[in-house]
Amino acid sequence: MELLLIVRDALASSLVGNLLVALHARKAGRAVAVLFTQEALAAAARGTFAWPRELSGQEVRLVMADHAAAVGVPVSGRGEGRQLDAKSLIAQAAAAGVVLYACPIWSMLLGLQDPLPGMQAIDAAALSSLVQNAKQVVGTL
């Protein structure tokens, strides 16, 4: 694996940023994976990522939705209800060949028995190997 991005917080802004970097790296031909851990894994299981306070108001939400196509982020809703669709971005990354992993430690702690849609389950030994053998790791467990 050339690039491993670790997403651990449940902020939609963090998810969008990490997945866009992963998508661009994949388009450039790099082998890239994203590891979901801690609250990011819990948010993915719930299907809901929160926006930080400075990015959560309606005005900024609409501005981001208006510019989403320019950076390849899907939008959900229409009119005044439109917003970036973080959940669809996960599916888009998986379809583009970005390998998505569910952290085995946090999967166990959260009681997640089956892998989440688009994500691959790995065990603790595979996680250790993934982190040790990646050429570049961005983020922390």
Give residue-wise pLDDT tens across range 60-79: 888 988 888 888 888 888 88
Query: pLDDT class for 114, splitting at 50, 70, 90?
Result: confident
Dihedrals phi, psi of 58, to nearest 5 degrees: -60, -40
Predicted pLDDT at 75: 87
Predicted pLDDT at 113: 84
Closest CA relative to residue 52, chosen from 25, 74, 84, 80: 84
Predicted pLDDT at 68: 86
Query: pLDDT class for 15, splitting at 50, 70, 90?
Result: very high
Q: Is residue 12 part of a domain?
A: yes
Q: Is residue 80 part of a domain?
A: no
Q: Is 36 exposed, middle or buried (0-12, 13-18, 19+ CB in 10 A)?
A: buried
Q: Is residue 111 part of a domain?
A: yes
Q: Is the four-CA dihedral 73, 74, 76, 81 of positive or negative sign?
A: positive
Across the range 31-43, mean pLDDT stands at 96
Q: Is residue 24 part of a domain?
A: yes
Against a cut of 0.75, is the pTM above it?
Answer: yes
**Mean pLDDT value across the chain:** 91
Least-confidence region, from 39-43, 75-79, 98-102, 130-134: 75-79
Q: Is residue 108 part of a domain?
A: yes
What's the number of domains the chain is made of? Answer: 1
Q: Which domain holds residue 129?
A: 3-50+87-138
